[in-house]
Amino acid sequence: MNFMISSTRQSSVKAWIAVAAIAMAGSVTAQVQGPTPTSLTGGKVISAEDAKKLADKKAAFFVDTRNVVNFGKGHVPGANAIPYKGSSDDVENFDATKDQFELAKLPAAKDQALVFYSDGPTGWKSYKAAVWAVKAGYKNVNYMRAGWAEWQAKGFPAEN
């Protein structure tokens, strides 16, 4: 038996194989990055309920690390937009030298309660900013890991 595939058909098959390979490579990359850590050395991971208690008492400085467009779509009332600009890998021991975060916009008092948040458990910006704050000597760093997604899901108040 002799099977022959036309050159047009061969090109089409090769194109589909290339597309499939690219798609598979993309899914491998997405799986490597995954969710943020569930603990924060030198700080505390808190729920949206815990964060709301702090917000209700005006007992913390809230930091929304998302970009200004997403901040403008809705945020925790009174939160401060301090976007985290990251190029480092989304891993626990990230290379902070590849990133930018304006620590100078945080309160001067190192014992001030801080709450960092971004989109949710896959939002590395808030985790990384919280790590920066801990390394800068802040003593009361809270990381709302479930982020804006949990805040909204609970029906808590929002500002635009």
Q: Is residue 108 within 8 Å of 150, Cβ to Cβ?
A: no
Based on its alpha-carbon atoms, the radius of gyration of the chain, rounded to whole angstroms, reads 21
**Share of residues in the chain with pLDDT > 70 (%):** 79
Q: How confident is the model at residue 137 (pLDDT cuts 50, 70, 90)?
A: very high
Q: What's the mean pLDDT in 121-137?
A: 97
List, for residues 145-158, the tens digit of each pLDDT value.
Answer: 999 999 999 999 99
Domain boundaries, the chain: 44-153
The amino acid sitting at 57 is K
- Out of 3.20.20.70, 1.20.272.10, 2.40.50.100, 3.40.250.10, select the CATH number for domain 44-153: 3.40.250.10
Helix (H) or strand (E) holding 129: helix 124-135
**Share of residues in the chain with pLDDT > 90 (%):** 78
Q: What is the pTM of this model?
A: 0.79
- Angle (CA) 13-14-20 rounded to 5° is 90
Residue 6: per-residue pLDDT = 47
Question: Which has more pLDDT, 17 or 73?
Answer: 73
Q: How confident is the model at residue 1 (pLDDT cuts 50, 70, 90)?
A: very low
List, for residues 66-92, the tens digit of each pLDDT value.
Answer: 999 999 999 999 999 999 999 999 999
